[in-house]
């Protein structure tokens, strides 16, 4: 049985999906811990809608989706993390406004120009068949960079998340770390849209972190468990989607939801 599982990765497109997905899930999970703890769980969803809008714009321009989406999503991520502090508008309101405006803009652009096509649908719901070697390498390099930065400044991310005022007094550049977090989140969203889909990408950011937080009380344990759970759920989802011929993005999300249920039951068991 294990041989047959390994054999599916002999297909080029499956190998690309495996490498891209594992890399993506690893960095999505660690970023997800920071976002969930800062009450920015909906940020992934909001940014993915912005990514969709940016994608529609790139289709009209006939430009590379990645190179158009990244700066737009990065800018919006930066605004999302900084606007609540500078204005009196709550962060969930800003996310709601930004995501709906971006989605509507994307739909409008497409409807008056190209019309909905396969590319747009793939980005909405994900398609592992559309992943290219270029996508895989970009994702791999970006993920290694994100993980390096996160673990290099591990205690700083903890400090800024736990007590921003104390971190500032300590001399930590809180603004810089918030900016880095925004940039990393945006990058994960844009890279993950092709495989997971804009409508589903936020699931792999948020759910592994929530699962880990149900069981573990230490920050280090939460981060590492989130990392492992995310990659495991991805692998199971990917293999199942191949065997059962189901959409990959949706399969991974449902496996994550199953994982959430298992963690919840485990938490109830441990609390007895």
Binding site residues, another protein, CB under 8 A: 36-37, 151-156, 158-159, 161-163, 165-166, 168-170, 172, 213, 216-222
Least Å from the CB of residue 217 to another protein: 4
Least Å from the CB of residue 37 to another protein: 5
| Minimum CB distance to another protein smaller for 123 or for 219 | 219
What is the rounded distance in angstroms from the CA atom of residue 148 to the CA atom of residue 131? 24
Least Å from the CB of residue 256 to another protein: 19
Cβ proximity of 230 and 29 under 8 Å: yes
| Minimum CB distance to another protein smaller for 159 or for 230 | 159
Q: Hey, what are 197's tokens?
A: 């889909």
| Minimum CB distance to another protein smaller for 78 or for 158 | 158
| Minimum CB distance to another protein smaller for 31 or for 252 | 31
DSSP letters for 16-45:
HHHHHHHHHHHHHHHHHHHHHHTT-TTHHH
**HSE-up of residue 39 (Cα within 13 Å, Cβ side):** 6
Residue with tokens 């940039």: 183
Cβ proximity of 45 and 194 under 8 Å: no
Least Å from the CB of residue 148 to another protein: 9
């Amino acid at each position: 049985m294990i041989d047959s599982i390994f054999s599916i990765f002999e297909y080029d497109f499956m190998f690309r999906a495996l490498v891209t997905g594992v890399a993506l899930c690893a960095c999505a999970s660690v970023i997800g811990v920071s976002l969930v703890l800062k009450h920015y769980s909906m940020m992934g969803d909001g940014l993915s809608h912005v990514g969709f809008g940016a994608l529609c714009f790139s289709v009209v321009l006939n430009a590379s989706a990645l190179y158009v989406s990244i700066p737009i999503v990065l800018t919006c991520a930066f605004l999302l993390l900084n606007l609540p502090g500078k204005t009196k508008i709550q962060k969930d309101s800003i996310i709601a406004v930004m995501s709906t405006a971006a989605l509507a803009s994307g739909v409008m652009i497409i409807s008056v120009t190209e019309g909905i096509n396969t590319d747009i649908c793939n980005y909405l719901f994900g398609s592992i068949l559309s992943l290219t070697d270029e996508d895989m390498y970009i994702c791999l390099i970006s993920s290694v960079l994100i993980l390096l930065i996160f673990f290099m400044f591990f205690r700083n991310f903890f400090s800024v998340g736990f007590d921003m005022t104390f971190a500032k007094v300590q001399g930590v550049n809180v603004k810089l770390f918030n900016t880095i977090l925004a940039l990393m989140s945006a990058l994960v969203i844009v890279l993950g849209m092709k495989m997971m889909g804009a409508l589903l990408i936020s699931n792999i950011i948020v759910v592994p972190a929530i699962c880990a937080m149900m069981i573990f009380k230490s920050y280090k344990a939460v981060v590492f468990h989130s990392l492992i759970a995310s990659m495991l759920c991805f692998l199971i989802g990917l293999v199942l989607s191949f065997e059962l011929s189901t959409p990959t993005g949706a399969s991974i999300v449902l496996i994550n939801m199953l994982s959430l249920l298992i963690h919840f039951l485990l938490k109830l068991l441990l609390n007895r």
